[in-house]
Structure 1
Amino acid sequence: MGYEKLNEKMMELKDEIFASIKESVAIESVKGAPEEDAPYGRGPKEALDHALALGEKLGFKTGNLDNKVGWIEYGEGEEMAAVLGHLDVVPLGEGWKYPPLACEIHDGQMYGRGVLDDKGPVIGAIYALKAIRDLGLPIDRRIRVIFGTDEENGSSCVKHYNEAGGEQPAIGFTPDGQFPVIFCEKGQSFWEVTKKVENPSSVKVLSIEGGTAKNVVTPKCTMVVEGDLDVKEADGITVTKADGKTTIVAEGQGAHGSTPEKGVNAAIKLFEAVKDCGIDGDPGQMINFILEKIGTETNGKSLDICWTDEETGETTVNLGVVKCTEEDLFFTLDIRYPKNGDRDTLVATMKKQAEAYGMNADLESEGKLLYVPKDSELIRKLMNVYKEETGRDDQPIAIGGGTYAKAFDNMVAFGPTFPGEPDVIHQPNECADVEKMMLSYQILAAAMYEIAQK
């Protein structure tokens, strides 16, 4: 069907939508210290209260589960279709051109923390409910706009919703990713590999330190050893000798842990530089493991965990943080696998590979594989809406990252950003083109209408 009437109705609501977004963005809903009625702090609770009040003002049924998750609902029917978003935001940070809580519009761009991630889309979805209701469009499933308040810090909000017996949607999407639609999010597996030093190196290694986070390619890594170590300086490798110590610093290039091939790992670079310098014992074994089983590969082939799938890509392995002292060795691995990867095989193989070098590999956390077939009802409906509304012929995408969609079965990320747009989410000067914002809300409205049909 065409969506002319729905599109027109959404444009009629534009001023109301932007006014409500402005009210929400003005609330600094960064996670804070818990209070009696505000488990994630005062800011997220105020943003939750604002959204619920908006739903009530518009005449919808609302729900609030322990001030962690709220929802607004319309329609009748046994089954429920869901739009899942969140009202918490990352810290404002420095370097804004315009006030981060003001929603000022400059050169057609609305600036503010949350305009894209994810307050704008949540407010857009609430008004899409109003448009569907006001037009009297027939639906078979109830539509529920669910909004969490802890997505940016681990999504404990929707975890609580599920554990407390919150109603499960039959179908749904989260406007917390990108268009056209993300049909696959690789399985995620985060590891800590450790060892207590029992057999020190004959070259005394005082410290090795590098990396900023487990899901970032190590951008810089530093090793300090006792004595005069003969290490050749090279591109990105500097060697300093002072106070009876040798300090080797490797500079690499950071990249997201889901795309390690886009970076240059400084820890790997450092270990390549010192591999023939006589470092042995337990530190030497750790270096051997990293060079022999990971090296400059980013697909896990030497670890024997490389799965390749034409549709959803291949395994990625990222060495993130390295932190070693005279007593302890420690590094992290971020492993992501496509739809033909096997989680249990991965776990068993990783433990075995580390044990062969005398180290312990512990699975610190993981994210499940999300895969919804391209020919499923959900993907077909979302893609049809996207093509009808944009005239574009983009194809569904698979990513290594994870989105809010993993909270529920039969849910995927759909919008709000369009292909080719700069990535400003979590950055200073988070902003959105106001025309594209409205287009994205028209797409959300049409998609909500379609997934509410059986």
Structure 2
Amino acid sequence: MSINFKEEVLKRKDELIEDLTKLIQINSELTTYDPKRKDAPFGEGIKEALDLMLEIGKKDGFETVNLEGYAGHIEYGNQKEYVGMVGHLDVVPAGNDWTFDPYGAEIHDGKMYGRGTEDDKGPTIAAYYALKILKELNLPLSKRIKLILGTDEETGWRGVRRYFSVYPEAPVSGFIPDADFPLIYAEKGISRILIKGKLKNKDIVSIQGGFRDNMVPDYASAELKSSKDYQSLFNQFLIKKGYDGSVAIKDGNVSIKVIGKSAHGSTPEFGENAIDRLFEFFIENKIDDQLVQLVDKLLIHDVRGEKLGVQYHDEEMGHLTNNFGVISTDQDHYELKLNLRYPNGVVFDEVVETIKQKVAPFEANVSVDGHQKLLYNDPNSDLVKTLMNVYKKHTNDQQAKPITIGGGTFARALPNSVAFGPHFLDKPTFIHQKNEFIDINDLLLATIIYTEALYELAK
């Protein structure tokens, strides 16, 4: 059977963009997690995004399920075996200093701007339209297809855990539209590591920096007692370093803020860590405290864990990375959140033990707040070969090979699946950064690839 999948996608271009616009215009950042909040455990914005996707699915005649706001699915067919896809509707915080409204879904020069356009509302809509096209063409399929909708991928994965506890069946094959083309067959292990201790320097009133550990922090701020002329010192520091920032007097104290550049926590080398910049000021101006010493000796300007003594490189999967993502204080206590990602060959428990030993002289404690083991699929499997062939057909990139990444996708949650697009490696990406966008032509191409890939897996 010969089907022009490109033609079918382009017929629906305006409708696809309209649905994505509505979805992007919903602020679906996590507010708080409250399992007692009926149908909205992750907040009203995430609930609204899930409701909208399921409403679109119902309108198009699909079977849908809303699992108490934790997750949902859109399903086609009633065969026993199924092909699965998982997208997510939550987003990381928008952050600061966008050129366009992060929830405006504005289109400029062929690009739609907004938080979630590439991670992961745009790809989820692309996957949905792939499913919709197969249904509308009434193609004969031997397997049903299910698009699962996650709701807290950027935080704790509580939604998919609840979902698979109720619907534990595994697909025969599937893909996750939340990463890179051509295809990802392995993902690093991911952990959130907390370091806690006490502040002893009385000049430090408070410190705050970063939104999430899986984002390079684009701001860091502190409030200092006026025991020195910190206002002048900080202004001189900003000028000397060429950093953006501000200083003000607040309730008799000096309030300072420095700006960095955000990036995804899996690639901290592409960001400018604002917490590092703040501690540069502390170190240069001899604000002596065990926290400042700890950061200076073990963390500052080190994205590979060399100062912590946990550096590692694997030829296939690359370097261990460490993102110093969040700092906060509460009176005389501090908490640091590290996002540490590791390749094949690393024994995670040994890494944690090494970090504990390194921070002990600074009277700090270490705990693991979350850990996802690394994922590895056979790059020569039938699933990988099928998806790669579709990718090559529509991109004419005959030399393409599957890759590994430091990011984490729902491929860890869905057995027999791999991460597959939507980002093309030769294009810029701004996920987890200000001015996130998706190129409309790239979105349509991804939809074409997804449609034929889904057909090949389910026919």
Distance 1:79 1:26 in 2: 35
Relative to structure 1, the CA distance from residue 373 to residue 217 in structure 2 (aligned partners, 3 Å threshold; closer, same or farther) is: farther
Residue 354 of structure 1: aligned partner: 359
Relative to structure 1, the CA distance from residue 438 to residue 342 in structure 2 (aligned partners, 3 Å threshold; closer, same or farther) is: same
Residue 341 of structure 1: aligned partner: 346
Of residues 263, 267, 272 in structure 2, which corresponds to 1:259?
A: 267
Of residues 350, 366, 369 in structure 1, which corresponds to 2:371?
A: 366
Render the CA deviation track for 1:115-166: whole Å, top value 9, x for unaligned: 5443443333233224334555554432211113344554432121023344
Relative to structure 1, the CA distance from residue 158 to residue 388 in structure 2 (aligned partners, 3 Å threshold; closer, same or farther) is: same
Which letter does structure 2 place at the counterpart of 1:413?
A: A
Residue 4 of structure 2: aligned partner: 5
Which letter does structure 2 place at the counterpart of 1:178?
A: D
Residue 383 of structure 1: aligned partner: 388
Q: Percent identity?
A: 36
Instruction: Report the CA distance between 1:190 and its aligned residue.
Output: 2.1
Relative to structure 1, the CA distance from residue 441 to residue 320 in structure 2 (aligned partners, 3 Å threshold; closer, same or farther) is: closer
Instruction: Report the CA distance between 1:448 and its aligned residue.
Output: 1.4
Distance 1:82 1:354 in 2: 44
Matched, 1:328 2:330: no
Deviates more, 1:247-256 or 1:80-89: 247-256
Instruction: Report the CA distance between 1:82 and its aligned residue.
Output: 0.9
Of residues 424, 445, 448 in structure 2, which corresponds to 1:442?
A: 448
Deviates more, 1:22-31 or 1:6-15: 22-31
Distance 1:333 1:32 in 2: 21
Residue 417 of structure 1: aligned partner: 423
Distance 1:429 1:296 in 2: 25
Asked if the contact 2:75–2:147 (Cα under 8 Å) also holds between the matched residues in 1, the reply is yes
Runs of at least 5 residues in structure 1 that lack an aligned partner in the other structure: none
Cα RMSD after superposing both structures? 4.3
Distance 2:407 2:306 in 1: 20
SS at match of 1:421: coil
Relative to structure 1, the CA distance from residue 429 to residue 74 in structure 2 (aligned partners, 3 Å threshold; closer, same or farther) is: same
Asked if the contact 1:69–1:146 (Cα under 8 Å) also holds between the matched residues in 2, the reply is yes
Distance 2:256 2:21 in 1: 47
Distance 2:297 2:106 in 1: 53
Of residues 269, 279, 287 in structure 1, which corresponds to 2:280?
A: 269
Instruction: Report the CA distance between 1:442 and its aligned residue.
Output: 0.5
Distance 1:321 1:27 in 2: 26
Of residues 173, 182, 185 in structure 2, which corresponds to 1:183?
A: 185
SS at match of 1:447: helix
SS at match of 1:216: coil
Rg comparison, structure with higher value: 1
Asked if the contact 2:193–2:337 (Cα under 8 Å) also holds between the matched residues in 1, the reply is yes
Instruction: Report the CA distance between 1:349 and its aligned residue.
Output: 2.1
Render the CA deviation track for 1:371-414: whole Å, top value 9, x for unaligned: 33422333333222211111124443433333343332343332
TM-score if structure 1 supplies the norm length?
0.77
Which letter does structure 2 place at the counterpart of 1:391?
A: N
Aligned positions of 1:110-189 closer than 5 A? 110=112, 114-135=116-137, 137-189=139-191
Residue 14 of structure 1: aligned partner: 13
Residue 408 of structure 2: aligned partner: 402
SS at match of 1:146: strand
Relative to structure 1, the CA distance from residue 3 to residue 147 in structure 2 (aligned partners, 3 Å threshold; closer, same or farther) is: farther
Which letter does structure 1 place at the counterpart of 2:304?
A: N
Render the CA deviation track for 1:38-67: whole Å, top value 9, x for unaligned: 444555444434433443444433333224
Asked if the contact 1:250–1:269 (Cα under 8 Å) also holds between the matched residues in 2, the reply is no
Asked if the contact 2:39–2:70 (Cα under 8 Å) also holds between the matched residues in 1, the reply is no
Of residues 55, 59, 62 in structure 2, which corresponds to 1:60?
A: 62
Asked if the contact 1:236–1:250 (Cα under 8 Å) also holds between the matched residues in 2, the reply is no
Matched, 1:309 2:324: no
Which letter does structure 1 place at the counterpart of 2:364?
A: M
Distance 2:149 2:24 in 1: 15
Which letter does structure 1 place at the counterpart of 2:440?
A: V
Residue 210 of structure 2: aligned partner: 212
Distance 1:168 1:9 in 2: 30
Which letter does structure 2 place at the counterpart of 1:314?
A: H
Render the CA deviation track for 1:210-249: whole Å, top value 9, x for unaligned: 53244425865768578679999874399x9x9xx99898
Render the CA deviation track for 1:255-296: whole Å, top value 9, x for unaligned: 544334443622553465366x8x4xxx34x44444444454
Relative to structure 1, the CA distance from residue 268 to residue 31 in structure 2 (aligned partners, 3 Å threshold; closer, same or farther) is: closer
SS at match of 2:324: strand
Distance 1:267 1:98 in 2: 28
